[in-house]
Amino acid sequence: RKGAVATHTDEANQQHYEVPTGFYDLVLGARRKYSSCYWPTGVATLDEAEEAMLELYAERAGLADGQRVLELGCGWGSFCLWAAERWPAGEVVAVSNSRTQRTFIEGEAARRGLDNLTVITADITTFDPADHAEPGPYDRIVSIEMLEHVSNHEELFGRIARWLAP
């Protein structure tokens, strides 16, 4: 309950998040979903399973067009790019601790003509949206498989509560 929000972030960054982009072209689906997929009955391919999982996240988070969404730990952009495409009247702010991932996501957003997505490179242990000209409030805050790097959940969830709209 005490201490830094996360530990060993530099090690995790080098092991996973600064790996060359080309490697992930070989092992991930079209959405570059770095975390788990959803394989309901009828889903037969990795690309379909990625899409099904993104749909499930959105459903469970109650996402809708026009919302302001903050994603903590955006990986290769599977969710933030998908959400920005799906809800063009919304705003998506994505946080990654990886410059490599940020560069990839920004390139994809430009290629797709998305102007409602902002990517921030920051360390979650010290991150505050206000420090990056992206202050809250946010309608929704999502974090997909980043919490395994968090050691002080109470501190992080306290921050998240302050960033959410009432």
Please write the tens of the pLDDT for every residue from 61-79.
999 999 999 999 999 999 9
Name beta bridge partners: 155. Answer: none
Look at domain 9-163 and name its CATH class: alpha beta
Residue 56 amino acid letter:
L
pTM summary value? 0.84
pLDDT at 151: 83
Residue 39 has pLDDT above 80, yes or no: yes
Cβ pair 97, 122 in contact under 8 A: yes
Strands (E), 63-123: 68-72, 91-96, 117-121
For the stretch 6-31, pLDDT in tens is 555 556 545 555 677 677 776 665 56
Q: Measure Cα distances from 102 to 19, 42, 73, 80 in Å.
A: 13, 33, 11, 11
CA distance 105 to 15: 19
pLDDT tens-digit map of 67-117: 999 999 999 999 999 999 999 999 999 999 999 999 999 999 999 999 999
Q: Nearest 5°: phi and psi at 121?
A: -95, 120
